[in-house]
Structure 1
């Protein structure tokens, strides 16, 4: 079995490598795989929460076998690769290493459930050079957000973002907001401004945009980001943003607002045996999701920019 260092070196190379050039009209559709919340740990199941931690290894192997049998542009994991403890990566990363496609990975709240002396090394544990970034594939712009940016668990001790997080959750709790939960997070003002700049740039280049995040922002839900309102409002002002994909709410969810599709993918960890993953195909004005196991299939029309 390869070491974590070997796996991470390969993963970092994949993340840093160039994505395919924008597809020309009439070329093959953009296709990619989606996994949400494997949340692996070598731990007994938490039946009350419907978390079957060890079983995610077998489910991920099955999902990757399905992905490897397809021609895909990349595969994305929408956060929570592990449930806790850095050593959990030693078991799950070798499975990801068998993936023949590029792997785009986001960090979730559980990816930060690490010992204090290890916490400061995240996101390097997954080979990430940055926790929010963007890339182009198949002529579309993908924007990866870091919803842990201002939270009670990701910033290291002494980081000013921790105090901002306390203020934000305090305001929400005082207002009785259902998403005033310590396991949610928010964007820093700097990252929010960066998001606006990227959306403006994509619009100038006539690129449609798909936003990827661990946390949902719409519709209202206890799992939503603390600053979900300002994020959803920003996306609504950019008609070239066609979809928002997330995990975190393991029950899954879907909503549409003015042609923008918010798809919350089901958590892989939630059942003893039934899997949950998807293959997405975007061609022309259609976005088709082929769901496996608990993940439903959807055929969605894309709004015009």
Structure 2
């Protein structure tokens, strides 16, 4: 019998990508309109009983000055707000790169927290990238090497607007999953970049993370944005849910609530986001 009481309910927003610039009509992105969409989404989510609302990156499209109007709207959110950066959040002047995580109120670029008996793990797929650090930084040089290797291998996600993770972060993630398993805690991992199915938007180290989740066996779902079209897949016992980008279309909004039950994940989509019921393996 289905379990009728969720372990937790939370809200999800992906890719508002606000900037005070003209729309990019070829991709149907209306940057200025994201402020009104955010207000509407937060108004709806404020009426819900939620543990928190997570925004899966790309709060802005470009320019450090774009963030203040967005954060002002989030000030009306009555729930805990969990923010993480996407690639566009680093489209700022070099002197502002080191401020991105702090301005989003993050305790650390990658971190974890426990809610409703579920371990939520935030990863930083922009850590090793061409945009999150200035030229001359060792991580920037590492990103150049990784992208070149992916290009030479003909990888579909060998794109300069994707990124990856350091060995340090990989080790931390593996340890976090292992600790959660010992504690009997199911895990939900959240990041900006897709990991599965194969897509040109996927994080550079996606196959390695999918294999880790498979070995771990306790990751219920991985939630992300970045690919504005959205996507869905399952590998092993993990669901991979790619939420659609809010910045797309002139007027149609997109956001969701997620309820995790003992036997399933229920996604209630608003606007362009699809509603789904995802069964969990016992």
Which aligned segments of 4 or more residues in structure 1 are displaced greater than 3 angstroms? 25-29
1:37–1:79 CA contact under 8 A, matched in 2: yes
Q: Greater CA deviation, 190-199 or 154-163?
A: 154-163
Is the Cα–Cα contact under 8 Å of residues 7 and 117 in structure 2 kept in the other structure?
no
Deviation (angstroms), 1:28: 5.5
Contact 2:18 2:35 survives alignment (8 Å): yes
CA contact (8 A) 1:290 1:298 kept: yes
Deviation per CA, 1:240-267: give whole Å up to 9, x if none: 1110000000000001112311000000
2:167 corresponds to which of 165, 186, 189: 189
Paired residue for 2:228?
Answer: 250
- 1:83 aligns with 61
Deviates more, 1:250-259 or 1:30-39: 250-259
User: Which residue of 2 is the match for residue 292 of structure 1?
Assistant: 270
2:187 corresponds to 1:223: no
The answer for the alignment partner of 2:70 in structure 1 is 92
Q: Could you tell me which of 105, 123, 148 is aligned with 1:145?
A: 123
Per-residue Cα deviation, 1:128-182 (whole angstroms, up to 9, x for no partner): 2311100011000000000001001102343211111111110110111110000
| Partner residue of 2:248 out of 264, 270, 290 | 270
Q: Is the partner of 1:148 in helix, strand or coil? A: coil
Q: Counterparts of 2:176 and 2:198 in 1: how far apart (Å)? A: 25
**Separation in structure 1 between the aligned mates of residue 41 and residue 4 of structure 2, nearest angstrom:** 29
Match of 2:37 among 42, 59, 74: 59
Query: Residues 156-167 of structure 1 correspond to what in structure 2 (within 5 A)?
Result: 156-167=134-145
Q: Supply the RMSD in Å over aligned alpha carbons.
A: 1.3
TM-score calculated relative to the size of structure 2: 0.97
- Deviation of residue 220 (structure 1)? 0.5
Task: Find 1:202's aligned residue among 170, 180, 196.
Answer: 180
The CA distance in 2 between the partners of 1:251 and 1:124, in whole Å, is 29
Inter-partner Cα distance in structure 1 for 2:80 and 2:188: 17
Q: Distance in 2 between matches of 1:285 and 1:35?
A: 24
Equivalent residue for 2:189, pick from 205, 211, 225? 211
Please tell me whether the aligned partners of residues 57 and 92 of structure 1 are also in contact (alpha carbons under 8 angstroms).
yes
Please say if residues 142 and 211 of structure 1, whose CA atoms lie closer than 8 Å, have aligned partners that are also in contact. yes
Give secondary structure in 2 for the equivalent of 1:269: coil
Preserved contact between residue 43 and residue 54 of structure 1 (Cα < 8 Å):
yes
Offset of residue 27 of structure 1 = 6.4
Q: TM-score, normalised by structure 1?
A: 0.89
Instruction: Please give the secondary structure, in 2, of the residue aligned with 1:143.
Output: strand
In the aligned structure 2, how far is the partner of 1:219 from the partner of 1:244? 12
**Distance between the aligned counterparts of 1:186 and 1:209, measured in 2?**
21
Distance (Å, rounded) in 2 between the aligned partners of 1:212 and 1:34:
11
Query: Which residue does 1:107 correspond to in 2?
Result: 85
Contact conserved, 2:162 with 2:204, CA < 8 A, in 1?
yes
